[in-house]
Structure 1
Amino acid sequence: MNILVTGARGQVGSALLTRLAPLGELVAATRDGTLDRPTPAIALDLSEPSSLSTVLDAARPDVIVNAAAYTAVDKAESEEALAQRVNADAVGALGRWAAQAGVPVVHYSTDYVFPGVGDRPLRENDPTGPAGAYGRSKLAGEQALATSGADHLILRTAWVYDAHGRNFLRTMLRLGSERERLTVVDDQHGTPTSADLIAATTAHVLRRWLNADTTTRRAQSGVYHLVADGQTTWCGFARAIMERAAKAGLLDRAPQVEPITTADFPTPAKRPAWSVLDTARIRETFDVTLPDWRIGLDQVIADMVSVR
């Protein structure tokens, strides 16, 4: 079985290359066709949706796992057309090709498709209503894939981080090494979720989904929420990072982390105040276990220590 992983240089894409390896032969896709590991790589540029069918015809994957996306949340406010091409038009093109070829698709979406309000974990069928360009483009991508005719899983996740790349964890560690005191937003709620947890869960879900009969597979197609268990705020996440990093020796000392409000830290794009996602559907459908977010953070910190 040939599994095409798009966005293979990103946080989730890179983790997928490790976690999906036992399921079949992997082909990594990046925008320029290069990759810093021995996995075969091809060039696939989602900003050019019309070019995708030619690339897919040549690659002939049996499964597509789309981890590529335009994720510059603030920049999307001034580049909405580009965000729409990558996150919506290209996803629709992938789905249409997959429908014609009989190829299942796994695609990642985001908490930003919701308005960002609430007081209970958000379910898959709760009303959407993105507050910004990035969320609008991701919701359009969900809709394009859902109507493409392809068997599909749309996995909404949130607050993704990893030991590598650009993310909140890495930013906090850099700032923590430079400053004695930090201020971090404390009125946005969500669940920090490691790229490895997303990739490992994807591998588990995909194995079960592909082994199901055609009727079951189609019945299971749709949207699922995939985040770690529990919830916190960005300030709570930052404090947990600093405490663990100092204890592990990644920082000389844990800086003071003080809470501020969203209004104190304005950004071009509005961030969701409530991004806590209900994961009951994926847990029950695919027998998934999702550990508390702190366990994932402990593992990522341990991984960073091990490669020092």
Structure 2
Amino acid sequence: MREFPHLMAAADTATLLIHCPDRPGLVHDVTGFIFAHRGNIIDLQQHIDPTLDAFFMRLEWSLENFTLEKEEIAPRLQPLARRHDMQLRLHFASQKKRVALFVTKESHCLYDLLARHESGDLPVEIPLIVGNHDTLRSAADRFGIPFYHFPITKENKQEQEAAQIELLKKERVDTVVLARYMQIISPAMIAAFPNQILNIHHSFLPAFVGAKPYHQAHARGVKIIGATSHYVTADLDEGPIVHQDVMRVSHEDSVQDLVRLGRDLEKNVLAKALWWHVRDQVLVYQNKTVVFE
């Protein structure tokens, strides 16, 4: 127990993400735990999927007068978790996520995220940028962020990804953002960062997968183009979708027009998905997501 709970910064909060089989009393038991330790709940959202008989919750509370130390909270929640067969994820607002940005040559998503971060609109730490080309090193230099170049070929891919994983672990990175990183991520990297690798795909998935979706869309004469941000899994472009958006186009738009218009979609969709991720508003369940907006 903490003797002087008032000494904790008032701005700090804890966020708890929960999923478990649906049953009576879940909200009562979880909120009762917070109340019993003098926590002030500032946000609570829940969702029930009747087809899966599954319950999902996001709960955020102030730690200003909470009577448990941070390191005590998770262990003290375990009896509750066992009783309800709960999967829990706990995070504290004061502990910013450490995000690594992976890039190739396209700069629009990278610059957008760096600008949001510099302005204070993206509450994360960005300790490094990784590129399989050296093209965007100058962008990293402008923002004072270390840039690491890992040239990748078929012959050295496994070795280079092992070195990337080692670097990410050394820098205590917990989230990887593929900001138009044009490489297929290996199972080893995915296993090291499960549901922590966020990708932006320049298409409204599941339509037009692969490397040139705008060319495919133009050839089909589509009237809507889109962008999709999803977590990376071993199945290419089939990971849990976090956010999508669309834009109307017409027969007058060329492939170049679609690419230009699509860039705005891509950077906005990726930024919104990352915002939800770093604020612990996304819960992954059976290759789908519950996003608490």
Same fold (TM over 0.5): no
Determine which structure has the larger helix proportion and give its number. 1
Q: TM-score range by the shorter chain?
A: 0.3 to 0.5
TM norm structure 2 = 0.42
Q: Which has the higher contact order (CA 8 A, sep 6+)?
A: 1
TM norm structure 1 = 0.40
Determine which structure has the larger strand proportion and give its number. 2
